[in-house]
Amino acid sequence: MKILVSDPLHDMGVDIFKEQGFEVEVNTGLSPEELHQAIKGVSGLVIRSATKVDQALLDAADELKVVGRAGTGLDNVDIPAATGAGVVVMNTPGQNSNAAAELAMGHIFALSRHIARGNRGLKDGKWEKKQLRGRELKGKTLGIVGMGNIGRILAELGTGVKMKVIGFDPFLDDAEIAARGADPKSFEDILAQADYISVHVPKTAETASLFNAENIAKMKDGAYLINCARGGIVDEGALCDALADGKLGGAALDVFEVEPLPADSRLVYADDVTCTPHLGANTFEAQENVAVAVANQMSKYLKTGEAEFAVNDPKK
């Protein structure tokens, strides 16, 4: 059986497939038309966030049995279409959670102490010491929206720097949220009480533009918003308006409505915004973790029919 790796994957994952006896083709950066040709004769497709698994690709596939996402997010996969085509879709939850949580915490520090602007100013010949008075995290309230693996780790990090951590997750009860290190609150309470809000939910119909103008207006004056989850959960226009009006103290984004971030985006010119180019899972450790996990999971499924972390069931 043949495995096609259409997005970059750590060599450890490729080696596992080969050790399991699969033929492996690594072919990244393909156009949709090229991918439709490359998918012929492929039993397993390994993707990350670039490859779009849509109806057209599924129609072009003639032997595809499983799509494995080396990571968590699956907004680039048409799961109902895959189910209809008899293709199992699986991801690797938890393998890059620590990386994403640490990046979110890094952004919280950067916002509080103006690290990005201070660095940029020095390189431009400026000494903005008086302008860049910061805030300490100790005693501040960190609100976490989404208390999954990433949210749980961020709660630990926030507690470690003596922040008060509150959390919301519609899929967890209060006891589960508390067990993950946060004082359970409603979404409205998070908006009203948190000095820092960090978002860790998938992008769905329910979470798209979750932080719109109406909800941002409910946040504390001078609060900070951090999104290291998915672009489009934060309405970027509404965010820029809130920053320009002085409603928020700052924001940090690792993900954007359009990626790569356009050079003329208002976010680029805002001094109170720190941006990174979708680095959440981009650590050496996380890349090894997701590659090993997806290779083991897909190999097991193709050989035994046992699907770990499958998000659909084509047999139903």
Could you report the per-residue pLDDT of 138-190, keeping only the tens digit for each? 999 999 999 999 999 999 999 999 999 999 999 999 999 999 999 999 999 99
Superfamily of domain 97-275: NAD(P)-binding Rossmann-like Domain (3.40.50.720)
Token pair for 12: 């450890």
Average pLDDT (118-143) is: 96
pLDDT at 287 over 80: yes
Instruction: Name the band, by pLDDT with cuts 50, 70 and 90, for residue 72.
Output: confident
Query: What share of the chain has pLDDT > 90, as a percent?
Result: 96
pLDDT on residue 270: 86
Instruction: Name the band, by pLDDT with cuts 50, 70 and 90, for residue 269.
Output: confident
User: What stretch(es) of the chain map to CATH 3.40.50.720?
Assistant: 2-95+284-304, 97-275
What does the mean pLDDT of the chain come to?
A: 96
- Which tens digits make up the pLDDT trace of 218-250? 999 999 999 999 999 999 999 999 999 999 999
Distances (CA, A) of 5 to 2, 10, 51, 297: 10, 10, 10, 14
Average pLDDT (199-209) is: 94
pLDDT at 316 over 90: no
| Residue at 1: amino acid letter | M
pTM metric for this prediction: 0.89
Distances (CA, A) of 16 to 103, 208, 210, 253: 29, 37, 40, 34
47-52 long-range Cβ contacts below 8 angstroms, 24+ apart: 47/6, 47/7, 47/76, 47/77, 48/7, 48/8, 48/9, 49/7, 49/73, 49/76, 49/278, 50/6, 50/7, 50/76, 51/6, 51/7, 51/76, 52/76, 52/77
pLDDT at 95 over 80: yes
pLDDT on residue 102: 98
Nearest to 221 by CA among 252, 254, 251, 246: 246
| Catalytic annotation, residues | 230, 259, 278
pLDDT at 267 over 80: yes
Q: How far apart are CA 237 and CA 65, in angstroms?
A: 41
Alpha helices in the chain (DSSP H): 11-19, 32-38, 55-60, 79-84, 97-113, 115-123, 149-160, 174-179, 187-193, 213-217, 236-244, 284-304
CATH of the structural domain 2-95+284-304, one choice from 3.20.20.240, 3.40.50.720, 3.40.50.11390, 3.10.20.30: 3.40.50.720
Q: Which sign, positive or negative, has the C-alpha torsion 50, 274, 287, 89?
A: negative
Q: Is 42 exposed, middle or buried (0-12, 13-18, 19+ CB in 10 A)?
A: buried
